[in-house]
Amino acid sequence: MNYQAKLHEYRSWLAAAVEEARAGAEAGGVPIGAVLVGSEGEILGRGSNRRVQDDDPTAHAETTAFRRAGRLRTYGATTMVTTLSPCWFCSGLVRQFGIGRLVIGEARNFHGGHDWLAEQGVEVVLLDDADCVRMMADFIAESPGLWEEDIGE
Amino acid sequence: MNYQAKLHEYRSWLAAAVEEARAGAEAGGVPIGAVLVGSEGEILGRGSNRRVQDDDPTAHAETTAFRRAGRLRTYGATTMVTTLSPCWFCSGLVRQFGIGRLVIGEARNFHGGHDWLAEQGVEVVLLDDADCVRMMADFIAESPGLWEEDIGE
């Protein structure tokens, strides 16, 4: 697959993560979404940040998508797709389980551990998607306290 | 409090984490336990690894204890106490949420991210507890496949 075709595929996965983020926001939650994608492009797990909905501080979007994929034996051929640069907790998840690729919607509103992951050999693709940037910027402006709580600041 | 008194307190917290690990093992799970302790020494959350019991690959002992403590505003005055050196996922949890102190039962059977956390300014106390070493060594010898799955290897 050439780079343009790959990029098209990554953007289609990101669209699924954005759907999750928007559904989470409609339910009163933090608008971050993620999907874990298998080697054939199939979605293995999907979810949004559920801090508010479940009163669960570990329910970041990436951990939710990962959890919903169930128990898998290996993750090297999977891709974690997230609307926002993953925090250290979710970056640690990617590293520990050896997830092979990370596709990120944007890293302007928050710069987590993705450089560290790239150094560790994870393939990191930063799409710098304008819709993701706007969605997160709007949320942070509207709910700064909830956002700071979510990242422990 | 002098160092001996502190050590005594850390060991009492570790005993609570070991209780969790043993209860988890009795339920067929991975024998790792953790407690999140507040600034007055009170236990805020406790739990064991629940990969088997809940079919949840994110339910490491530390994330379980953290989750059960509910939503807190800040974590700087809390201590994460775990029977085993935390993996990168759980180390990322400690870093992201600014947990101030980490007390570890042992790091002989698994050496996770605790050196990295110490570099980041987390107070790391390694107790090198013989019971913890034995509990984990016995489990790895009996269930190597489950252990490898738990750490994504």
DSSP letters spanning A94-109: HHHTT--EEEEEE-SS
Contact with chain B for residue A90, Cβ under 8 A: yes
Residue B5 vs residues A16, A80, B2, B13, B14: alpha-carbon distances, Å: 53, 45, 5, 13, 14
Q: Which of A63, A55, A68 is nearest to A86 (CA)?
A: A63
pLDDT digits (tens, 9 = 90+) for B106-142: 999 999 999 999 999 999 999 999 999 999 999 999 9
* Interface predicted TM-score (ipTM) over 0.85: yes
Query: What's residue A96's pLDDT?
Result: 98
Which CATH entry fits the domain spanning A3-151: 3.20.20.450, 2.40.50.110, 3.40.1280.10, 3.40.140.10?
3.40.140.10
Query: What's residue B56's pLDDT?
Result: 96
Q: A92 and B91 in contact by Cβ < 8 A?
A: yes
Count how many residues are written for chain B: 153
pLDDT digits (tens, 9 = 90+) for A18-57: 999 999 999 999 999 999 999 999 999 999 999 999 999 9
Confidence of residue B1 (pLDDT cuts 50, 70, 90): confident
Q: What is the mean pLDDT of residues B58-76?
A: 97
Q: What is the mean pLDDT of residues B51-55?
A: 96
Residue in chain A nearest B51 by alpha carbon: A71
Residue in chain A nearest B76 by alpha carbon: A152
- Pull the structure tokens for residue B104: 């570890």
Domain layout of chain B by residue ranges = 3-151
Q: B88 and A92 in contact by Cβ < 8 A?
A: yes
Query: What's residue A39's pLDDT?
Result: 97
Mean pLDDT of chain B: 97
Q: Which residues of B touch A92 (CB under 8 A)?
A: 87-93, 95, 113
Mean pLDDT of chain A: 97
B20 in active site: no
Which residue numbers of A are catalytic?
A: 62
Query: What's residue A1's pLDDT?
Result: 79
pLDDT digits (tens, 9 = 90+) for B20-31: 999 999 999 999
What whole-number percentage of chain B has pLDDT above 70? 100
